[in-house]
Structure 1
């Protein structure tokens, strides 16, 4: 046997076996790195979880469960097994890997999972893009779990009111507790549609409107009675300049307001694509932009771009680049005037 062509770990295994020692008696080098304690966000940098491996949680969202004092981050697990990953955190910087909470199994394409908590029924509801390997199925799928860390069980999948659905965003109105899905729809994402979910969050209603914007990757926030819809253009895995829209009603009509990324030299949303806007609890008007760096495809170790979103006194949305930042940028609610 020519062992020179083998990797280090394989040669080490062979050497141990030849010595008659069980492989379990030795320590084999791990691909994991020493876990790092974080006290800030570093957009685009390698981000490790408690297991020392890069966080593998793409195209998803974050929720906060007040009774547990815990944040949960859900997203696409691009490594094996494929499906939905869940990570938990007490501070938004340091994350514990809770594992794959929904395995995609026979689903050809599982993308952009978004989770909301149904406080009335004490369960977690996950919506996601359900598709075939040629992206011709174009449906919404829904799954539920009694625990934030799963497992989630798929309930059904379909096209909302007969419309194709691919990239999705999710928004729960904090005042009404009504939930909505913004979805890239029809003829290869020709437009964004907004659909209201049922009271139990398990199905879509007939409240479904065309926003008439050729875009994808929607993220939504509400401030001072105005709804802000942040989207990317349609260029596959390649980042592009974002556009945001405003409306006085979540169902529209929406008005294009241009690109909110300030000083974006590459004109590519700081080399990212939006997937969600998270309202950070405990701070006044604190909105977290969640963006993915797909790097030409959905890789397990692709990076994340988390940045603060500013709504100016004039009502403009702005995102500025920070190589490193923390929550001290925001004003705590208890000291807000």
Structure 2
């Protein structure tokens, strides 16, 4: 295989369509590793029956099946990652100081629907696992966001008893004061990604406050917990599926709106510092079905090793009635001044 064909079946070294949905890429020791949700045949939606799958590649075209590297626990185990939980958007980063590989993912413990809004953490000494599940958390319990207004700290909570319905809340998140509501338990965390900056500091980016607001949180030096330093961005904009990357000293973000499995018009933003201010730049997609992000949703954007300022967009074309058949949309990133763009191509090569 010597080219990418977005939206088509993508066979691994065994001839089986790659099973790594909502995934991310790690590059280490001249090898790319692709981690994603393992789906099962006939499965509708996103219940986790198996765990996280991993593939490896030297050229990004041809992928070797490395197997399931994080396995959900059997029914009745009582684990937070018991079979039947919701385990989404796994991302793995390498800690060069500890030598360990940290995996984070959005986790909804079995039976809670989407009310858990937790982050799962697992660790391994090897990129191909096995990964050991450590714990799940609500981020930054007991800590205020660094950009949270003092007057809101004194305001009453008006969000008690409210339950998320998929894409809206009855009032602005500041009026409801969702941050204060969740202060002791920790903030909600759903769709997420990870980002490691040039200085080795790692960040967890996730949809929070009933999906209304994006949080960026710095991790501890071992990448296995939150540091307590975090901030809120795009308050009330309902952005999910975040993908964050850096080029030329600037930080770029891609995300989608909250429309469930249905694709929508992508969003982009740019900042000179990870703590903002962030400036929205509109839909980065160009060409056929750009208004629906080429019938995909962002999951990750990664740099090409050895190719300065070249990046690839990773998106999922979800198939909610038969999740294992979900297709992958990989396309190159194009830059124009402070904006980035993604052009539709039926076939392309590096």
Q: TM bucket by the smaller chain? A: 0.7 to 0.9
Give the 3 Å change call, closer, same or farther, for CA 297–286 of structure 1 in structure 2. farther
Q: Which residue of 2 aligns with 1:245?
A: 269
> Which residue of 1 is the match for residue 60 of structure 2?
92
User: 2:314 aligned to 284, 290, 303, which one?
Assistant: 290
Q: Is the 8 A contact 1:171 1:179 kept in 2?
A: yes
Q: Which has the higher contact order (CA 8 A, sep 6+)?
A: 2
SS across alignment from 1:205 = strand
1:295 Cα deviation after fit: 2.3
Secondary structure of the 1:267 match is: helix
1:148 is matched with 127
Q: What's the CA shift string for 1:239-263, capped at 9, x where partnerless?
A: 1000001111112221111000012
Give the Å deviation of 1:104: 1.9
* Aligned counterparts of 1:209 and 1:289: Cα–Cα separation in 2: 25
Q: 1:156-177 deviations in whole A, cap 9, x for unaligned?
A: 111102110000011111x201
Q: Are residues 1:318 and 2:286 paired?
A: no
CA contact (8 A) 1:237 1:297 kept: no
Cα distance between partner residues in 2 of 1:156 and 1:94: 33
1:159-308 equivalences under 5 Å are 159-161=138-140, 162-173=186-197, 175-187=198-210, 189-211=211-233, 212=235, 213-265=237-289, 267-296=291-320, 299-308=323-332
Aligned to 1:56: 19
Deviation digits for residues 106-163 of structure 1 (CA, Å, limit 9, x no counterpart):
1511111000011222211100111134111111111001111111001111110211
Are residue 79 (structure 1) and residue 79 (structure 2) matched? Answer: no
CA RMSD of aligned residues (A): 1.3
What residue number does 1:6 align with? none
Hey, what's the Cα distance between the residues in 2 that align with 1:223 and 1:102?
31
Q: Aligned equivalents of 2:200 and 2:322: distance in 1?
A: 32
Looking at CA atoms only, which structure, 1 or 2, has the larger radius of gyration? 1
Check whether the contact 1:238–1:295 (CA below 8 A) recurs between aligned residues. no
Question: TM-score, normalised on structure 2?
Answer: 0.79
Instruction: State the match for 1:24 in structure 2.
Output: none
After superposition, the Cα gap between the structure-2 partners of 1:205 and 1:264, relative to the gap in structure 1 and judged at 3 Å, is farther
| Alignment match, 1:35 | none
Shift of the alpha carbon at 1:296?
Answer: 3.2
Q: Structure 2 regions of 5+ residues with no counterpart?
A: 42-48, 74-81, 141-185
1:158 maps to: 137
Q: Deviations over 1:66-111 (max 9, x none)?
A: 2xx2111000001275210000111000001111111122151111
For residues 317 and 297 of structure 1, do their structure 2 counterparts lie closer, same or farther at Cα, with a shift above 3 Å needed?
A: farther
Structure 2 counterpart of 1:110, from 87, 96, 99: 87
2-side partners of 1:159 and 1:283: how far apart? Answer: 37
Structure 1 gaps of 5+ residues are 1-37, 328-337
Give the SS at the match of 2:285.
coil
Whether 2:31 is the aligned partner of 1:70: answer yes
The answer as to whether partners of 2:194 and 2:204 remain within 8 angstroms in 1 is yes
Change (3 A) 1:179 1:297: farther
Between the aligned partners of 2:326 and 2:283, the Cα distance in structure 1 is 24
Q: 1:263/1:225 Cα in 2 relative to 1: closer, same or farther (>3 Å)?
A: same
